Structure 1
Amino acid sequence: MTNDRRVWFWFAPVLVVLGGVYLIPVADVIRFSFSDATLLRPITGYGLDGYSAAYNDDSLGVVLRNTGVFTLLSVVSLQAMGLAIALLLVRGDRRKLYGMGALRTIVLAAWVIPGIANGLIWQMLFSEAPFGAINSTLRLIGLSPVAWLSDPGNAMISAVIANVWQGSAFSMIVFYAARRAVDPVLYEAASVDGASPMAQFIFITIPQMRGALLVNSILVTIQTLNTFDTILALTGGGPGRATEVLSLNIFNRVFYSYDLGGGSALAVLLLAISMALTLIYLAVLMRRGAR
């Protein structure tokens, strides 16, 4: 009991600081969500008008669908790309290949670029003007240019590509550490038994990294749900509302429509979605751990 009390004594300052940093802003958002506040005037009353106006908006269904598509495609792609890069780095390190450090630097460089800059970079790459880098390359090899940003379907794929290019570094770091922690004896024993590289990947690598996969899923999902700056700079949510996700809709409602109450109400919805997905991931993680 004494040891437990000592642990809480040392953790108490950290918990207080983290609670102040995270819980107070969340509580303030919830307070604003029940108000009629705007960016032009203070609160004059409380009620459910903000929730009613925000949740009865005809565009909310489209925004939620875009959010689901963007999040699903991004999370799956981020996991796959991060895992592929991590396995490549581990294999290169084991064989002492040159260029592994340069590869790490390139991947991490994309991660530290601000989201707005990332969106502008990919806007120039996907540009359908004659100077667009990707379409210019397609013309050089005899292929027809692609409407990357003006076609609704392609615009969502373009947004996912830009997000994955920037965010793969985080998944790579998590998976690289998890893969390095796997006991090499397992692979040696599997090789002696005649297991193929694919069999080793399926029956050793994936099970041993299951915890990292699930934890990374939680973090990447929350990050993707809150991504709006890259989309804002890349497509602005267009064409039409084809790439307008919930976080971008909140930004537009608050800073363009000045509706602080309605934007806060949608922010509460975004918080609820993030928490629900986190609980689902944790339930899966605990069930797998129990097994």
Structure 2
Amino acid sequence: MDANNNMTINHAEKKRGSWRSSPLLWLIPLIAVLAFVFVYPIFQIVRLSFTDANLIDADFDYTINSYIRLFTLPGFYQMLSTTSFFVFFSVVFQLICGFFISLLIVQGEKFKIKGTVIVRTAVLVAWAVPGVIIGIIWNTMYNETDSGIFNYILSFIGMGPQPFLSDPLLSLLSVTIANIWRGTAFSMILIYAGLQTLPSDVIEAARIDGANAIQRLTRVILPILSPILLINLIIISIDTFNTFDMVMALTGGGPGRSTEVISLSIYNSIFNKFNMGEGTATAVVLLFINVMMTMVYLKVLGRKDK
């Protein structure tokens, strides 16, 4: 009996010791914080999207009318096309500009050209400035009178004041350009860090084998950087889909709804129309797009790693 009791006690002590040494014990506070600030808000948004809740009345009923109304609104598909244009061209040119700026900086450092630190700092300023401030700055630059910076420059070549913010197509293009300027810095940071880790012996071997600069770029550098480029693509795509502050300060979604992206539509539905059900339904659509896009990117990334 004593032997059995000792074995039971030892077994219990081992279980207690293994529990204490388990990393799960240290992860409990993190899991609790994530559940409170991430999982619970998502649950509430999904729940409210199936209601007719608003910011005026406390009472609401559960219904799917918010989704039906959302997908049948005349401006919904225009909003999706506007967001698609804004996201696609923003992401593509942020990647391209960030890559070439980082490549120029690396080459400048290689040849010890002065001013590379200044260039790096100047690009990073766009990343450090809040989106609202960026919207105000670009609003001043796009001013449609002769006092606007761009229109003042265009006046020297005989081009009259351009309706940068009052023409539907030009305003969407103007917002996209401002967002490209804003987001290029982040792409430059990631790609610059990736370029710093490139194995010099591989590039030197390609040079000895007779590969020119373009061949080294397309056949050596880009394949090595592909995981970093894909991660960068995921981050800036999600960030661009969620862009709200800069568009709000620059155009407010106008003229009309020509620059109303999904995130701005969520704000307008909830805080201007006081329609919580429709706004949260739009938020769920945005969440679904982000999740699906991330899953596709990660699946592609997984194939690259094999």
What is the CA-CA distance between 1:10 and the residue it aligns to?
4.1
Equivalent residue for 1:152, pick from 168, 173, 177 = 168
Equivalent residue for 1:269, pick from 259, 275, 285 = 285
Using the alignment, how far apart are the partners of 1:93 and 1:119 within structure 2?
33
Per the alignment, residue 208 of structure 1 pairs with 224
The answer (yes or no) to whether the contact 1:54–1:263 under 8 Å persists in 2 is: no
Per the alignment, residue 82 of structure 1 pairs with 98
The answer (yes or no) to whether the contact 1:78–1:164 under 8 Å persists in 2 is: yes
Using the alignment, how far apart are the partners of 2:59 and 2:42 within structure 1?
17
What is the CA-CA distance between 1:146 and the residue it aligns to?
2.7
1:244 aligns with 2:260: yes
Using the alignment, how far apart are the partners of 1:288 and 1:173 within structure 2?
22
Equivalent residue for 2:63, pick from 47, 54, 65 = 47
Larger Rg: 2
Q: Helix, strand or coil for the counterpart of 1:277?
A: helix
Using the alignment, how far apart are the partners of 1:137 and 1:166 within structure 2?
22
Amino acid at match of 1:75: V
Deviates more, 1:206-215 or 1:10-19: 10-19
Q: Given the two structures, how large is their TM-score scaled by the length of structure 1? A: 0.93
Per the alignment, residue 141 of structure 2 pairs with 125
Question: How do residues 42-191 of structure 1 correspond to structure 2 at under 5 angstroms?
Answer: 42-191=58-207
| Deviating 4+ runs (over 3 angstroms) | 5-13, 141-145
Using the alignment, how far apart are the partners of 2:25 and 2:97 within structure 1?
42
Deviates more, 1:87-96 or 1:254-263: 87-96
Using the alignment, how far apart are the partners of 2:207 and 2:145 within structure 1?
53
Using the alignment, how far apart are the partners of 1:78 and 1:19 within structure 2?
33
Deviates more, 1:273-282 or 1:233-242: 233-242
Using the alignment, how far apart are the partners of 1:183 and 1:49 within structure 2?
57
- Report the RMSD for the aligned CA atoms in angstroms: 1.8
Using the alignment, how far apart are the partners of 1:44 and 1:62 within structure 2?
29
The answer (yes or no) to whether the contact 2:91–2:240 under 8 Å persists in 1 is: yes
Deviates more, 1:35-44 or 1:223-232: 35-44
Q: Helix, strand or coil for the counterpart of 2:37?
A: helix
What is the CA-CA distance between 1:60 and the residue it aligns to?
0.3
The answer (yes or no) to whether the contact 1:171–1:216 under 8 Å persists in 2 is: yes
Using the alignment, how far apart are the partners of 1:79 and 1:53 within structure 2?
36
Using the alignment, how far apart are the partners of 2:305 and 2:236 within structure 1?
21
Using the alignment, how far apart are the partners of 2:278 and 2:117 within structure 1?
47
Per the alignment, residue 244 of structure 2 pairs with 228
What is the CA-CA distance between 1:222 and the residue it aligns to?
0.5
Q: Helix, strand or coil for the counterpart of 2:279?
A: helix
- Judged with a 3 Å threshold, the aligned counterparts in structure 2 of structure 1 residues 8 and 97 are, in CA distance, closer, same or farther, namely farther
What is the CA-CA distance between 1:194 and the residue it aligns to?
1.8
Tell me the alpha carbon deviations over residues 54-74 of structure 1, each in whole angstroms, 9 at most, x when there is no partner. 222111010011111111011
Using the alignment, how far apart are the partners of 1:144 and 1:194 within structure 2?
51
The answer (yes or no) to whether the contact 2:234–2:297 under 8 Å persists in 1 is: yes
Deviates more, 1:47-56 or 1:149-158: 47-56
Question: How do residues 12-23 of structure 1 correspond to structure 2 at under 5 angstroms?
Answer: 12-23=28-39
What is the CA-CA distance between 1:93 and the residue it aligns to?
1.8
What is the CA-CA distance between 1:188 and the residue it aligns to?
0.9
Aligned residues: 288
Tell me the alpha carbon deviations over residues 250-289 of structure 1, each in whole angstroms, 9 at most, x when there is no partner. 1111110010111001100000001111111111111111
Amino acid at match of 2:302: M
- Judged with a 3 Å threshold, the aligned counterparts in structure 2 of structure 1 residues 237 and 45 are, in CA distance, closer, same or farther, namely same
What is the CA-CA distance between 1:190 and the residue it aligns to?
1.3
What is the CA-CA distance between 1:9 and the residue it aligns to?
4.3
Using the alignment, how far apart are the partners of 1:239 and 1:136 within structure 2?
22
Tell me the alpha carbon deviations over residues 193-216 of structure 1, each in whole angstroms, 9 at most, x when there is no partner. 121111111011110010011111
- Judged with a 3 Å threshold, the aligned counterparts in structure 2 of structure 1 residues 136 and 176 are, in CA distance, closer, same or farther, namely same
The answer (yes or no) to whether the contact 2:146–2:161 under 8 Å persists in 1 is: no
Q: Helix, strand or coil for the counterpart of 2:108?
A: helix
Tell me the alpha carbon deviations over residues 216-258 of structure 1, each in whole angstroms, 9 at most, x when there is no partner. 1111111000112211221221222211111111111111001
Tell me the alpha carbon deviations over residues 158-193 of structure 1, each in whole angstroms, 9 at most, x when there is no partner. 111111111111111111111111111111111111
Using the alignment, how far apart are the partners of 2:28 and 2:106 within structure 1?
39
Deviates more, 1:239-248 or 1:131-140: 239-248
Equivalent residue for 1:217, pick from 215, 233, 253 = 233
Per the alignment, residue 43 of structure 2 pairs with 27
